[in-house]
Amino acid sequence: MPIATVNPANGETLRTFEALDAAGIEQRIATARTAFAAYRTTGFTERARLLDQAAALLDEDQRDIARTMTTEMGKPVKAARAEAAKCARAMRWYAAHAEELLADEQPSAEDVRDSGASRAHVHYRPLGAVLAVMPWNFPLWQVVRFAAPALMAGNVGLLKHASNVPQTALYLEGLFRRAGYPAGCFQSLLVGSAAVEAVLRDPRIAAATLTGSEPAGRSVASIAGDEVKPTVLELGGSDPYLVMPSADVARAARTAVTARVQNNGQSCIAAKRFIVHTDVYDEFAERFTVGMKDLTVGDPMLESTDVGPLATEQGRTDLAELVDDAVRRGADVLCGGGRPEGLAPELEHGWFYAPTVLAGITPAMRIHHEESFGPVASLYRVDGLAEAVALANDSPFGLSSNVWTRDPEEARRCVRDLEAGGIFFNGMTASHPALPFGGVKRSGYGRELAAQGIRAFCNTTTVWYGP
């Protein structure tokens, strides 16, 4: 895949970039190594000052970088501005809390004596240069939620961003440089995926984090395992959205529309499988379908647009094939099911897909097992909570989940039984720097954000003093 900005709203190639050659990659790894040797000794006060400055610059740049993101991957510009604002807030959160999260931990006095020590504690130290392999769907947020904690812990970062968002990748490198970080603390590698293995195997790279597809995760995990390097993987998701009879059905249906089409439906944590109790199924299905039909699809640069194009032509093809397979095998199309009608002539060659609701999904259909990365919802009818949970768990993925119920016993059972890294009651899944984020099964392992995220790339060191 070429490294290029291709506007998904019209298919026009706007800029192309030469990939770094071996010498360029070597120079950046060497610079990262040199930077880490000095940056690791800085204190939390200095690290926080730098990160706060980066947040301030990002706030100033919000409108411009939002337009860049929209141009590169098609998200509505209002959502792109919200993403930039969220990144700045996360930077400030880690600047304020990192020292507390990485404070030395003291065992009890009794345990210290039992160990034969006069004193002992647990200390967190940075690992070094962390390679981040990041996707295009949240081209700022996915990077910042790695970079903010990694930099506050004293690590340095090398970003291999998706090849269709090169300008966003270069912006991030420039942002940290303008904030005053020493040269080499954060660098972007404009390289294709074939270059990742050699970078990851380089002994100067201490660890890796990847957000992306399952095949990409398998590859990075295999290479890192062979090199005995720690990794954090956030892969796909096919999140269930359970609606039980005690729910506020009208609110559940309104929220379901947003939960499905956020980021044009291209989010790992977007709700994708809507599992609804038969007692409220008809009401939910009607409200949800009307809400999906009412969305405005079009130019993502317009404030009135709710859903823009898919980021890549291949992504739209893959989504259409999933829908077509389901329809051939008996699924009912309640709305959508193809290219939206009424688009402006200048959008004729854009990669648009209409918000779609499919009902009558069965295990014979690919969409029952595979992630639908676009504005397509699968609707299921169930007779009770046990059936709903079993269906929710009937997926190779386990990223997050949503449950709508006012019954405390149903909530307790969902917390006990749902196979997911997150369970959100009476609302849609969201990420916040204070809450750990990640999944189980083929959705990956490890956690980003919160204390777990900043400690993921630290050397947890036992410090023991003899009597």
Catalytic residue set: 234, 268
Tell me how far apart the alpha carbons of residues 382 and 359 are, in angstroms, rounded to a whole number. Answer: 12
Tell me how far apart the alpha carbons of residues 380 and 377 are, in angstroms, rounded to a whole number. Answer: 10
Backbone dihedral angles phi then psi of residue 49, each to the nearest 5 degrees: -60, -45
Residue 134 tokens, joined: 């990041």
3 state DSSP class of 132:
strand
Query: Which DSSP helix (H) or strand (E) runs through 397?
Result: strand 397-398
Backbone dihedral angles phi then psi of residue 377, each to the nearest 5 degrees: -110, 140
Q: Are strands 376-382 and 271-277 parallel, antiparallel or unpaired?
A: parallel
Tell me how far apart the alpha carbons of residues 40 and 28 are, in angstroms, rounded to a whole number. Answer: 18
Interior/surface letters 416-455, b for 16+ CB within 10 angstroms, e for the rest: eebbbbbbbbeebbebebeebbbbebbbbbbbbbbbbbbb
**CA distances, 314 to each of 10, 142, 163, 336 (Å):** 14, 22, 14, 19
